[in-house]
Amino acid sequence: MKFWRVYLLGLRMGMRDWTFFWTWRSWLGGWMLRLVCSILLWSLMGKMMGSTETLRYLLIGNAVTAGIGTFIVASCCWDRMEGTYSLLVAAPASLVPLFLGRPSIWAFGWVASALLSTALVSFGFDLALPWKGLAVLPLLIVIVSVSTFFCTAFVGTMVAATAPQARNIANNWLLILFSAICGINVPTAFWPKWVQIVATALPITHGLEAIRIVLSGGGMMEALPQVGLELAVGAAWLIVILCTLDRMTDRARIKGTIDFA
């Protein structure tokens, strides 16, 4: 009860952050336009390679993950920037629902971004995606978003406790990592074995594989093992947050890196 109360009030603050950043017009005309341009850039590369299969791979990979992974690390650090972090640390409540609540609004935004991008790309490039696959796509995008949220939230809480000034760099590196090795632009099989193992522990990898299965005509049962793995990866990152958040905060208390306002 207490957890959800704090979580929901954190989420409400996230909504205020959202409206501080975006109007519907700027979200559509700025954010979505940027995402679509990014998808088109990757897809043009596929087109230049002259392979329909590659073009389709890049379009689906970039559209269904459009926006996923953005803003969370920065959002976790905003309390440091606002001078409220020390007040949160000194409050009796657990930091876990706080750090899951406020940033989670951006994960809702990911789902909207990815669904809208997929719809635009699907119509724009006449991908002829199967209806059965499209029917489960929202659920799969939600699952990918949730697992990615826990992973990025872990990085965000770590950066907030140790080096909040590096929040944007950390977020960008994370996005590059996802983009490079999680199967968005390059099949995971391309990479050396050890990179594939790293990718296995990251979000998106398994969920995207499941999405590719259902969007290429495969059944949900066929995709289920990958869905299970994606959920397991998300749960593992959540456990990492639960196990480390207090320790990271205590470390900041020991080192004296928490500013007073």
Contact set with other proteins (CB under 8 A): 2, 5-6, 9-10, 12-13, 16-17, 19-20, 82-84, 86-93, 98, 250, 253-254, 256, 258, 260-261
- Smaller CB separation from other proteins, 2 or 34: 2
**Which residues 6+ apart lie within 8 Å of 34 measured at CB?**
none
- Which string of b and e fits 167-178 if b means at least 16 CB within 10 Å? beebbeebbeeb
CB of 247 to other proteins, least distance (A): 13
Rounded CA separation 59/42 (Å): 8
CB of 82 to other proteins, least distance (A): 6
- Taking the least distance from each CB to other proteins, the nearer of 12 and 34 is 12
DSSP 28: I
In the bound complex, what is the minimum distance in angstroms from residue 28's beta carbon to other proteins?
Answer: 21
Record the tokens describing residue 207, joined without a space: 């969920």
Alpha-carbon span 215 to 49, nearest angstrom: 22
Nearer to other proteins, 19 or 26 (CB): 19
Please report how close the Cβ of residue 258 comes to other proteins at its closest, in angstroms. 5
Contact by Cβ (8 Å): 245, 258 = no
| Nearest distance from C-beta of residue 227 to other proteins, angstroms | 34
Q: Cα(220)–Cα(200) distance, rounded to whole angstroms?
A: 20
Q: Which is nearer to other proteins, 10 or 164 (CB)?
A: 10
**Max CA separation in the chain (angstroms):** 60
Nearer to other proteins, 91 or 139 (CB): 91
Distance, in Å, from the CA atom of 92 to the CA atom of 176, rounded to the nearest integer, reads 37
Q: Which amino acid is at 142?
A: V
Least gap, CB of 88 to other proteins (angstroms):
7
Whether the Cβ atoms of residue 116 and residue 200 lie closer than 8 Å to each other: no
Please, are residues 208 and 218 in contact by the beta-carbon 8 Å criterion? no
Q: How far is the CB of 161 from other proteins (least distance, A)?
A: 12
- Of the two residues 24 and 260, which places its CB atom closer to other proteins in the complex? 260
Q: Which is nearer to other proteins, 221 or 254 (CB)?
A: 254
Q: Which amino acid is at 219?
A: G
* Cα–Cα dist 127/248, whole Å: 46
